[in-house]
Amino acid sequence: MPPKQKSDRKLASAMAEQFARRLFPFESMSPEEYAARHGEDWLCCALPSYCFQDEKLDAWIQRFGEILFTPGLMRKYQEELLTPDELERIRQPKDAF
C-alpha cells in the first residue's frame, strides 16, 4: 500500500500526535527496524491514515504503515536486520488474548 498523499489524510488531533510521539521511537530507530522488531505485534494500525504536523513523525509513520501493509516487506526487514535468535523468538506462536 503506497503512502497516501498528505492532502488525502485527515489531520491528526493534538492528542493523537502526542500519543504517536510517545509510542514510536521515530527519533532513535528507523521504521524498518521497528517494523522488523515489533511489526508482528500490530494487528492493525490506523495511524498512517492521518497527517501529523511533525514532518519527521509523519514520514516515519507513513513508512511504518507502508512496511506493515506491503506483503513480504516486514519479513524482508526481519531477515535483513534481526539475528537468527531474534527471528526464532518473533516467529514463535503467540498466545491469543
How far apart CA 70 and CA 41 sit, in angstroms, is 16
State the pLDDT at residue 96. 62
74 contacts 35 by C-beta, under 8 angstroms: yes
**Residue 92 banded pLDDT, cuts 50, 70, 90:** confident
Structural domain of 67: 6-90
For residue 1, is it within any domain?
no
- Count of structural domains, the chain: 1
For residue 17, is it within any domain?
yes
State the pLDDT at residue 5. 63
For residue 97, is it within any domain?
no
State the pLDDT at residue 41. 86
For residue 22, is it within any domain?
yes
How far apart CA 65 and CA 3 sit, in angstroms, is 8
